[in-house]
Structures are given as structure tokens and as C-alpha cells.
Amino acid sequence: MLQVSDLTVGYHRDDAVLREVCLDLTAVAVHAIVGPNGAGKSTLLHTLAGHLRPTAGTVWCEGRDVTRWRPHQAARTGVALAPQGRRLWPSLTVAEHLTVTRPARHRPGSTFSVDELLEVFPALAGRLHHHGHQLSGGEQQMLTIARALHTAPRLLLADEPTEGLAPTVARQVTAVLQQLPQRGATVLVTLPHVRAAAALTDTVHVLTTGHLSHPVTASDGQAERLLRDHLTLTNPHAE
């Protein structure tokens, strides 16, 4: 759905967090980015969702230059962000989180009804009248993803979606993400480890200090090697 060319983004003038990042998200598939803490994964997803303005480069959406689009324009086009750190709405209940957003009007991607979302995340069914702060970390994570899916995204940006989840719940979330392309939605997921990414797709990009690699294979050790090389360069004492 999106193509990114030579994207540079920073929070301060002359201090780029992402440097000349190129990424092709035209295939309806799961695209994964792995990278260590602070590499710029969240920065990239927030930029694609319209929350941050790049200082250079272009984002294309089906031939249209959307580099400087706003979050509501990205959302209307079918881009949904499931941010890291949950970021739920404190005054809303679980049920309200799932009903306050409306599916995108334009060519919806993967449509999920509330009932279907509760089937996918049964833990939320018993919490419908609870507020976000009354949920466990895992439940909050599930709600963040369910909220994004309820907008029927054509592109789901999932920022470390399995972080802090019990293994069974993490597997459940992984399975949902894996099925999205069959339902017409593209997924861009960030993860800290190659192993977690490999459960979703065999082709991953490695992001290290703002530089994004070409797609590399996860199963043959290429991605691990890139990460290890980076670690050795930045911390020569690491084994």
C-alpha cells in the first residue's frame, strides 16, 4: 500500500533518527522490521501514521505523495497504528474502545466485528465495562490491537505487539497478524528479535541506528548476523 523512499526523520534539527530509509509495502503481506532498542522502529511507524513529519524523502500511497499527511488522513485511507505502550483512552471502557472508532470508509481492508474481536481475544469479553487502567498489561495490549483492527485497516502498523505478553497470548496475537493478508490487509510489524519476526514471515528488514537494511532472510541467519555485526560495532566488548 505504501512505498517509502529515502526517508529521513528526526526530533531535533540536524539529528536524524531515521536516515534515508527505503521500504516497499505494496505486497499485501506481513512485513517485519527488527532492531534493538532505540533503533527508530517506533519513529518509523509514527511517521507512516502521520504523527511525525519527515525532514527528507517521500512516502507514496498508490502513486500519491502522502509524505506530509496528518493522522486523520492516514486513518481515513486505512492506516491503523497499534502503538507500543498501549496508549488507551483513559476515560473509555473496553466496549467503548471497540465501538468509538468506525471502519474506514474507503475500501476497507480486514473487517472485524466486535463479536469477532472478542472471539480472537476472549480475555476482553469479561472486561467490557472496565477502563483501560483496570486491565492487565496483556489485556491492554490486546485491546490496542483490537481497537486498530476494528477500523478495518488496509495497513496495520503494529509496534512490538507481543511485548510483555504471556507466550500463549503472544502466539494468539501472532496468529491474528499472520492471517491479516488473507483478509486483504497489509501488516508492518516491529519486533526486537529475529525469532519473533520469523514466526510471522521469513523476510525481515533490520533497522540499526536509523538505517534500514534490504529485506533479508530470517531463517538462514542473515538477519541475526546483521544485528550481531551492529552490536559488535557499537559495543566492541559484547561477545
Site for ligand ATP in 34-53 (CB under 6 A): 35, 37-43
Min dist. Cβ of residue 11 to ligand ATP (A): 3
Spatial distance between the Cα atoms of 192 and 206, rounded to a whole number of angstroms: 10
Closer Cβ to ligand ATP, 19 or 76, answer by number: 19
Site for ligand ATP in 130-169 (CB under 6 A): none
Closer Cβ to ligand ATP, 91 or 235, answer by number: 235
Stretch that binds ligand ATP, among 30-38, 59-67, 171-179, 215-223 (CB under 6 A): 30-38
Describe the strand order of the beta sheet including 2-12 as a list of residue ranges. Answer: 15-25, 2-12, 56-61, 64-65
Closer Cβ to ligand ATP, 41 or 205, answer by number: 41
Is 11 an interacting residue with respect to ligand ATP (CB under 6 A)? yes
Closer Cβ to ligand ATP, 51 or 183, answer by number: 51
* Contact footprint for ligand ATP (CB under 6 A): 11, 17, 35, 37-43, 84, 192
